[in-house]
Amino acid sequence: MSVQIKNLNKSYYLDTQKIEILKDLNVEIKTSEVVAILGSSGSGKSTLLSLLAGLDFCDSGEIRFNQIDIARLNQKELTAFRAEHIGIVFQNYYLVSHLTALENVLLPLEIQNKMTLPEEAINLLQKVGLGHRLHHAPGELSGGESQRLAIARALISKPQLLLADEPSGSLDTETGKKVMDLFFEQVRANGTTTVLVTHDRGIADRCDRVLKLENGQLCDI
Ligand SMILES: Nc1ncnc2c1ncn2[C@@H]1O[C@H](COP(=O)(O)OP(=O)(O)OP(=O)(O)O)[C@@H](O)[C@H]1O
Ligand SMILES: [Mg+2]
């Protein structure tokens, strides 16, 4: 899936003070391209991913997936589109608290009515090192374990677009390396268009393109 962002503007209001986060941001991402986004804390990286995921709204501008403007979708269509095509690994994980780890991974497939064997989900959970935590609820997992669960859940349905916000941010060096190896292996094998926010230059250098978010705009570096 290709992504076109045109003249995107997003600001927040603090009382009456307008804080501009994204300012006439433009970028085109090709199908299967893996793009890293770097930028200092508070520069607006997570804000940009939320807009791409359709979880927040821009002030003005366009976001197109395969040339289709997502602003033209109603809430129901947007939710269906997200469930079918977009994988999300966000900083707050968005895990379903009353389901076990295994059920959380199976959920995207159930939503899409894709028949699958639990073995596939178990296999993926084993690969992220959670084979011994299949029946734990998210509240019973550590921060890094929750992060790995969120990654497994995002990868299982082979989404056309993967949005990942510092997916290895809570992991130690060794676990982070293993999980990111799996991440890159899967997105490359599936041709998943990927937007990966990271503070780690080593991870960014494994991507096709590295962009920096600065002063509300993205530039190639
Ligand atoms: N709901 C909100 N209301 C007001 N300001 C907000 C809101 N959400 C984010 N901001 C502000 O927007 C700016 C960008 O936030 P964002 O979370 O996108 O940064 P980031 O680049 O992801 O930072 P980090 O690297 O620390 O995760 C921050 O200064 C933040 O305070
Ligand atoms: Mg962030």
Answer for the pair 91, 53: CB distance below 8 angstroms, yes or no. no
3-100+157-220, what's its fold?
Rossmann fold (3.40.50)
Mean pLDDT in residue range 66-86: 90
Answer for the pair 106, 130: CB distance below 8 angstroms, yes or no. no
Is residue 42 in contact with ligand 1, taking CB distance under 6 Å? yes
Is residue 43 in contact with ligand 1, taking CB distance under 6 Å? yes
CA distance 12 to 59: 10
Mean pLDDT in residue range 99-111: 91
Residues in CB range of 124: below 8 A, 6 or more apart: 105, 152, 155, 156
Q: Which residue type, as a one-letter code, is found at position 137?
A: A
Residue to mutate (ligand 1; options 10, 12, 55; most atoms within 8 A of CB): 12
Q: What pLDDT sits at residue 112?
A: 78
Cα(25) to ligand 1 centroid in Å equals 16
Cα(180) to ligand 2 centroid in Å equals 18
pLDDT digits (tens, 9 = 90+) for 146-192: 999 999 999 998 999 999 999 999 899 999 999 999 999 999 999 99
Is residue 41 in contact with ligand 1, taking CB distance under 6 Å? yes
73-77, 109-113, 179-183 — which is least confidently predicted?
Answer: 109-113
Q: What pLDDT sits at residue 91?
A: 77
Mean pLDDT in residue range 114-138: 91
In this model, does residue 211 exceed pLDDT 90? yes
- Give the chain's mean pLDDT: 94
pLDDT digits (tens, 9 = 90+) for 24-57: 999 999 999 999 999 999 999 999 999 999 999 9
> Which atom of ligand 1 is found nearest the CA of 166?
27
Residue nearest to atom 18 of ligand 1 (CA): 44
Q: What pLDDT sits at residue 195?
A: 98
Mean pLDDT in residue range 17-26: 97
SS3 209: strand
Which among 68, 66, 44 is positioned nearest to 56, based on CA atoms? 44
Q: What pLDDT sits at residue 160?
A: 97
| Position 93 confidence tier, pLDDT thresholds 50, 70, 90 | confident
| Position 103 confidence tier, pLDDT thresholds 50, 70, 90 | very high
What residues pair up with 130 in beta bridges, in sequence order? none
Cα(60) to ligand 2 centroid in Å equals 21
Radius of gyration of the chain (CA): 17
How crowded is the C-beta side of 141, counted as CA atoms within 13 Å?
29
| Position 7 confidence tier, pLDDT thresholds 50, 70, 90 | very high
Ligand whose nearest atom lies closest to the CA of 212: 1
> The whole model's pTM is what?
0.94
Residue nearest to atom 9 of ligand 1 (CA): 47
Is residue 21 in contact with ligand 1, taking CB distance under 6 Å? yes
Q: Collect residues with CB below 5 Å from ion ligand 2.
A: 46
Is residue 44 in contact with ligand 1, taking CB distance under 6 Å? yes
Q: What pLDDT sits at residue 214?
A: 97
